[in-house]
Chain A
Amino acid sequence: GQQLNQSPQSMFIQEGEDVSMNCTSSSIFNTWLWYKQDPGEGPVLLIALYKAGELTSNGRLTAQFGTTRKDSFLNISASIPSDVGIYFCAGQLAIWDDKIIFGKGTRLHILP
């Protein structure tokens, strides 16, 4: 079946550092989505990308939809303690199907 390869699996950074994570697939996606999940809660949508090449920002977060439609990255600038959590990429394969598939997640840890 279709898979999203998300990397890195985990990151340990200092507060204030920039963060970058990405997702790749062998399949072409109609939409790329980035979610953040805090412990014991449901995922929260951070950024949605609809067009190849699209670059979208949400505060300190920036995400891009790859030109081949098979990849996406998420950058977080100047990390702060509340950025800790799990970040998931997700992709929609077909415009007629609202189903999405998730990457395995990137766990972000901020060192004291």
Chain B
Amino acid sequence: GAVVSQHPSWVICKSGTSVKIECRSLDFQATTMFWYRQFPKQSLMLMATSNEGSKATYEQGVEKDKFLINHASLTLSTLTVTSAHPEDSSFYICSLPVGQGSGEQYFGPGTRLTVT
């Protein structure tokens, strides 16, 4: 069965509005989760590492004030895209590392964001 769920699976919003995407760990306690972005026909690019109870760590070039990450519990991380623009339209995927030190990650089903 699924290890990671995401909600919503797709969302359409207007430019300038904010959108929140939820990522839930179903079977594991998650002190760390990852957020990726994937543009059409491209690979997954890591945006940030979500840390339970502390600030997220953002990859170079990712605006932390635009992509707000909250990891308030061991089963839930949220990504809020603030003041969305059409260029933020993408497939957002979260993942959960499950093998201590192994690098293995289980991915959520993704959220398709379209900004009009």
Contacts and interface: CB of A to CB of B under 8 A. Distances in A.
A31 interface: yes
Contacts, number: 61
Given A31-B103, A48-B102, A48-B104, A99 B43 contact: no
Contact of A100 (B6, B103, B108): B103
**Interface of B: prevailing SS:** strand
A33 interface: yes
A95 B44 contact: no
Contacts of B99: 48
B93 interface: yes
Nearest to B100: A98
Contacts of B110: 40-42
A33 B105 CA distance: 9
A59 to B, nearest CB: 18
A92 interface: yes
A42 B109 contact: yes
Given A40-B110, A42-B109, A105 B103 contact: no
A87 B97 CA distance: 19
Given A42-B108, A88-B43, A96 B34 contact: no
A88 B95 CA distance: 15
A32 B36 CA distance: 19
A44 B103 CA distance: 14
B54 interface: no
A48 B112 CA distance: 27
Nearest to B101: A95
